[in-house]
Chain A
């Protein structure tokens, strides 16, 4: 009898016990101690520290860009899996399956729009995030390596975008694959000119690897599909984990260590001095300053991560979803005519973020598609190792002098790239003046390499005048940003049929 009663009692208590076994704390955290436990007793939350610096939560400092990027990656993963339910990766079926998703599948158009808009948001935010980290000097010691991981994530984001718009197998997709594969092939522009392609054919190897065939067809589509849905997202997820982990291990978001920390909030009270209790290990609870646990110092302007950081996560996710939803309601993801290998579109334009590159490629395939991007990535990767001056970390532009240099460099960068483009459009380039000129000359000297040279010279001049590698880095980075913006605008707005200059798309000749 007693056994039966116990059984019934246990059955009655099961919901309560289930809840207690699921939530380790069992109730919403009340004290700071419980808030710490809520964080480090939870698998999903224990990646972050239990206390977060007030500065890290300042919107005006981080602009929430890292969180927006994470949120858009989550949105893209979910909508991507949903799209995979209907998408068929075959040259025969891909286009119509996208049409089905757009016109027949319930909520298909909406999900596809969200996927497309959050992808655009991710690309946009990744550029802004890099600029934020750069201008606040957040790449400096001990965060140099995390800057490199961030660069890998930038490349992965762009690769995901590129492989993504190839999949519908419309005109944009087909000609983008063709152009992309031939950019991979473009080292031949140099090896052919040197006559060494027979022994060293980097370009041909890369093209084979991407296309898997001598033409753009089924083999290529499957390869890009595998890249887009498996390899690149896995790599992206792995690098994101590494990136977050390093953010925490390198001491949280960068901040100005010369300023006095604001008071920490402990037990709801602001405290400047933290009384240590001899029986507790504060280092593990991450409530002390610095990279290594140090007991006996103030808790340095921190507040509990629960709930303060969770509010920030929620806000970033809400913002990302709201922007993607809003844009999805306003504008549909494009789908051009079905792929036609006989006739490219005129002009055949990539999405906005690649149009700067397309403008560079229109000077020289190898330099614009391989050479200059490599130079830019190498330059970005070297920044934290060339600028070792710890001053100015955590301040926008590292102070008023940096702000002045940034403004001057922005003006210089704009003026030089615009005048170079005006020159090129008005007067042409080497081949228009010397039709017999060897290709290697054009590969080496074209508007793309000239603008890179001008920007490098400007930055060298700044370092010579000021003696500060930090200011030189600000000068170079700002110039390249201006170059990127102007070239992107040039490709987006001012290039028409046959890649000729037009003031506005309405002036394009009508066929």
Chain B
């Protein structure tokens, strides 16, 4: 093996060979990592029609299983609180004595969805309620509204 002078043609060529090899491997790795990260995230569109607003009397407090939320109606209007635990995604139980409790790791929430115990990092989000064009109550479980927002039908 000869020692090549710095800046000689040979040392430049071997440098170019090694860097193109590394670039090729790097590009291949980037492609391998890129594939499993989905470009389109499949999933159901979580907008639900709940029916005529008048079928929910004032004082309603009902757990909706498909919609994964708890729907309330009081004098100020409607609001819906998500029943997906903010800790690790279990479905929380609506307690008869008020408030919510998670069966998986014991997070507890107040009637308005604030954390009162357990490991949940944040409160339960309030979900957007609106009226659809045909006059049905519509829940958008993908949109959050500030806590305390109530919808008047």
Interface positions of A (Cβ within 8 A of B):
175, 178-179, 181-183, 186, 189, 192-193, 205, 208-209, 212-215, 217, 219, 223, 341-348, 358, 361-365, 368, 428, 431-432, 435, 439, 442-443, 446, 497-500
Contact = CB atoms under 8 A, between A and B. Distances in A.
Contacts of B44: 215
Interface stretch (B10-18, B71-79, B118-126, B132-140): B118-126
B117 A345 contact: no
B26 interface: no
Contact of B90 (A175, A214, A223, A431): A175
20 contacts: A178-B89, A179-B90, A182-B88, A192-B121, A208-B38, A213-B42, A214-B41, A215-B42, A215-B44, A217-B42, A344-B90, A344-B91, A344-B104, A361-B119, A362-B105, A363-B119, A431-B116, A498-B102, A499-B103, A499-B104
A187 to B, nearest CB: 11
A487 to B, nearest CB: 14
A245 B88 CA distance: 41
Given A208-B37, A208-B38, A213-B38, A362 B119 contact: yes
A305 to B, nearest CB: 39
A178 B88 contact: yes
B90 to A, nearest CB: 5
Nearest to A207: B89
B94 to A, nearest CB: 12
The 9 closest A-B pairs by CB, nearest first: A214-B43, A346-B103, A499-B106, A362-B105, A182-B88, A342-B65, A182-B89, A213-B42, A215-B43
A363 B118 CA distance: 7
Contacts of B37: 205, 208-209
B104 A179 contact: yes
Contacts of B97: none
A212 B88 contact: no
Given A209-B37, A365-B87, A347 B121 contact: no
B42 A214 contact: yes
A181 B43 CA distance: 15
Given A181-B89, A344-B91, A344-B103, 7 more contacts: A182-B87, A186-B88, A208-B38, A213-B42, A223-B36, A346-B93, A498-B102
B41 A362 contact: no
B70 interface: no
B55 interface: no
Given A215-B44, A342-B65, A362-B119, A179 B88 contact: yes
B36 A348 contact: no
A432 B87 contact: no
| Most chain B beta carbons < 10 A, residue from A183, A217, A365, A443 | A365
Interface of B: 36-38, 41-44, 65-66, 68, 87-91, 93, 101-106, 115-119, 121-122
Contacts of A363: 119
| Most chain A beta carbons < 10 A, residue from B36, B88, B91, B118 | B88
B66 to A, nearest CB: 7
Contacts of B43: 213-215, 217
Nearest to A346: B103
Contacts of B93: 346
Contacts of B90: 175, 178-179, 344, 348
B72 to A, nearest CB: 19
B42 to A, nearest CB: 4
Contacts of A364: 119
B122 to A, nearest CB: 7
B153 to A, nearest CB: 26
Contacts of B88: 178-179, 182-183, 186, 361, 365
Contacts of A346: 93, 103
Contact of A189 (B41, B102, B118, B121): B121
Contacts of B91: 341-344
A92 to B, nearest CB: 16
Contacts of B119: 361-365, 368, 442, 446
A177 to B, nearest CB: 10
B121 A432 contact: no
Contacts of B68: 342
B37 to A, nearest CB: 6
B104 A209 contact: no
Contacts of B36: 209, 212, 223
Contacts of A205: 37
A439 B122 contact: yes
B103 A497 contact: yes
A431 B103 CA distance: 18
A183 B119 CA distance: 13
Given A212-B36, A348-B90, A192 B103 contact: no
A341 B88 CA distance: 14
A235 to B, nearest CB: 14
A365 B104 contact: no
A499 B38 contact: no
Contact of B104 (A193, A342, A348, A442): A348
A435 to B, nearest CB: 6
Contacts of B105: 358, 361-362, 499
Nearest to A438: B121
Contacts of B102: 498
A342 B66 CA distance: 7
Nearest to B104: A348
A171 B93 CA distance: 16
Contact of B118 (A214, A223, A348, A362): A362
Contacts of A347: 103-104
A209 B43 CA distance: 15
A162 to B, nearest CB: 15
A6 B144 CA distance: 91
Contacts of A219: 38, 42
Nearest to B68: A342
Contact of B106 (A178, A193, A214, A362): A362
Nearest to A500: B106
